Copies of this chain bind each other. A is one copy, B any other.
Amino acid sequence: MLKQEDYKQHISGRFNSELESLRNNMLGMGGKVEQQLLNALDALMSKDSGEAEGVVSLDKEVNQMEMAIDDECATIIARRQPTASDLRLVIAIIKVNTDLERIGDEASRVASLTLRLAEDGVSPSNFVEVRHIGNRVAGMLREALDAFARLDVSQAIEVVKSDQTVDKEYASAMRSLVTFMMQDHRKIGAILNEMWALRSLERIGDHACNIAEQVVYLVQGLDVRHGRLAELDIETLDRR
């Protein structure tokens, strides 16, 4: 297992201010995307179309970051020919980079729903579920990035567990929105907007989960995607 201390020592050694810079750029992009999500939720709750437009326009910056990080990864592989844990770091970052960019896309989608509120009105649920699930997935994203920064497998496992809760809450929220729709079909447009927002948030939870799974791959060299984390003995994994 790659301990945080060994890792830091290695990083401070010969070859890699480059790896350190790559890692920092990825975490920086993570911070930007997290902010995009929080602003998107805030814009939707406060019906602030100016803030929503800000989130949508931030997406260009995030896309640029994604391309720059991929480029940096390719350059490091070509020039430095990393192996073992260094290579795992680069590959994990290529994967996380894709997830972060897609979280940015989903955050933009949530923000752009704010711009439709004037037209369709506010959902009768008053976004209770969006607020709740939104806060939860924003927390998951923060935890996943933090686990990546600190190479903390236990924290990564917690993120994966949270996703199961989000999936349940999402299903229950959708059912109650369908009920609202049946009761008052003049509100259909507004409720659909809330459903789209929830769908985006649920996807953001999945992406945060993917990031957490990359932490396990990075630290332990284990591919735990597609529910394989649940099959493993989590306690054992944690102590490896």
Chain B hits for A67, CB < 8 A: 223, 225-226
Contact of A58 with B by CB under 8 A: no
Q: Report the minimum CB–CB distance from A51 to chain B (whole Å).
A: 22
Alpha-carbon distance A182/B63, docked complex (angstroms): 38
Alpha-carbon distance A178/B192, docked complex (angstroms): 9
Alpha-carbon distance A194/B52, docked complex (angstroms): 29
A78: nearest chain-B partner, CB-CB: B83
Query: Contacting chain B: which of A11-19, A69-77, A232-240?
Result: A69-77
Contact of A45 with B by CB under 8 A: no
| B87 with A78: CB separation less than 8 A | yes
Interface residues on A, range: 20 to 34
| B182 with A188: CB separation less than 8 A | yes
| A189 with B178: CB separation less than 8 A | yes
Query: Which residues of A from 167 to 197 have beta carbons under 8 Å from B?
Result: 178, 181-182, 185, 188-189, 192, 195
Alpha-carbon distance A25/B147, docked complex (angstroms): 33
Contact of A199 with B by CB under 8 A: yes
Chain B hits for A225, CB < 8 A: 63, 66-67
Query: Which residues of A from 52 to 95 have beta carbons under 8 Å from B?
Result: 60, 63, 66-67, 70-71, 73-74, 77-78, 81, 83-84, 87-88, 91, 94-95
Beyond contacts A78-B84, A94-B95: 11 other A-B pairs, Cβ-Cβ < 8 A, are A60-B226, A70-B223, A71-B223, A74-B88, A77-B77, A77-B91, A91-B94, A95-B98, A98-B98, A178-B192, A185-B188
| Residues of A participating in the B interface, judged by any CB pair closer than 8 Å | 60, 63, 66-67, 70-71, 73-74, 77-78, 81, 83-84, 87-88, 91, 94-95, 98, 178, 181-182, 185, 188-189, 192, 195, 199, 223, 225-226
